[in-house]
Structure 1
Amino acid sequence: MTGRVLGALGALLMMVAMPSAAQARLQCVAFARSNSEIQLTGNARDWWGNAEGAYARGETPRPGAVLAFRATRAMPMGHVAVVSKVVDERHVLLNHANWSRPGMVERGVMAVDVSEAGDWSEVRVWYGPTKSLGMRNSPAFGFIYPTDLAAADAPIKHKG
């Protein structure tokens, strides 16, 4: 084989062995940003702080809001999910990515407020592999509201 052929084969092998951007796993932040009107940057754990002054925040679930989870040992980057439907004060349906399996998108999955105060500071979320509301409570900051929801007539309880 000539050097040209070997070089071409080497380049081809590099393309096959190296993952492309299209093969990258979808993360919750990219999913939330593309499926909501909340346009924040940074890791999910930073969205609550990054929203200050740009978006209203609170503890009242509303469709279109982003539920921001705190970082934990199990979730060091935190998590964000888009509320697709409010079932009642303590139950919502979420659309999100990278929860049950790496890169997996889930739509219309149940999340339950399990906090004693009813303020969405502790949440259980549907976990696909166990077909249940997960094995642990996950701490959350609360909801980040798109501009149009912040002006809605229902009061928003603000959290610091």
Structure 2
Amino acid sequence: MTPPLGRVTPAAGFTLLPRPPILPRARPALVKPSRSLQCVPYARELSGVKLRGDAWTWWNKAEGRYARGAAPRPGAVLVFSKSQRLRRGHLAVVAEVRSSREIVVHQANWLNGGWIHRYSPVRDVSQGNDWSEVRVWYTPGRVYGSRTYAASGFIYPQPESAPVLRQVAK
């Protein structure tokens, strides 16, 4: 189990999870829900993108249903590619765009404990500045993780289902 840092509060249950509050420069935090969560249902609920299946399959499943791209936007779903480390891929929802190379996401089960990770920074480390390779904040250590993860890109929710999140202009 991952040791909690920051403010940790139990959630009432997945369907009753409130949308994360929008806070100026909120710090990364781990939240223990009443039951373990996976990234797919959490991203679906938070973003409004109504896809199913393993996280890595969302990229192809979104084709023709949702706009996709390489630019982060608040409310978009970042799709991590399938790899030896991420056998089912991973999903994270963009909460804030801090710069062309850094975003903040909300995600579930990043460290395989079923926890919700709020306000986790993610950095684009790709050669082409295209978000195809990223590093994710390691909240317990308060540093960026040492691993680089391949990403397929961003799925943009339809306007009527997009959550109200923000972009910070720099």
Name the TM tier (shorter chain): 0.7 to 0.9
Determine if the alignment matches structure 1 residue 145 to structure 2 residue 150.
no
Q: Which runs of 5 or more structure 1 residues have no equivalent in the other structure?
A: 1-21, 150-160
Cα separation, 1, equivalents of 2:141 and 2:118: 17
Q: Cα RMSD over matched residues?
A: 1.8
Q: 1:11-61, CA deviations, whole angstroms, 9 ceiling, x for partnerless residues?
A: xxxxxxxxxxx9752000011011112110000010001101100000010
Cα separation, 1, equivalents of 2:71 and 2:100: 8
Partner residue in 2 for 1:31 = 42
**1:88-127 alignment, distance < 5 Å:** 88-127=99-138
Q: Which runs of 5 or more structure 2 residues have no equivalent in the other structure?
A: 1-32, 161-170
Cα separation, 2, equivalents of 1:139 and 1:36: 21
Cα separation, 2, equivalents of 1:35 and 1:23: 17
Q: Secondary structure at the match of 1:35?
A: helix
How far apart are 1:102 and its partner, in Å?
Answer: 1.4
Contact (CA 8 Å) 1:100, 1:129: kept in 2 or not? Answer: no
Contact (CA 8 Å) 1:45, 1:79: kept in 2 or not? Answer: yes
How far apart are 1:100 and its partner, in Å?
Answer: 2.8
Identity over the aligned pairs, expressed in percent?
A: 47
Partner residue in 2 for 1:135 = 146
Amino acid at match of 1:89: S
Cα separation, 1, equivalents of 2:99 and 2:48: 22
How far apart are 1:101 and its partner, in Å?
Answer: 4.2
Task: Give the paired residue count.
Answer: 129
**1:16-95 alignment, distance < 5 Å:** 25-95=36-106
Q: 1:79-102, CA deviations, whole angstroms, 9 ceiling, x for partnerless residues?
A: 000000000111000000011341
How far apart are 1:116 and its partner, in Å?
Answer: 0.4
Which protein has the bigger helix share? 1
**TM-score with structure 2 length normalisation?**
0.72
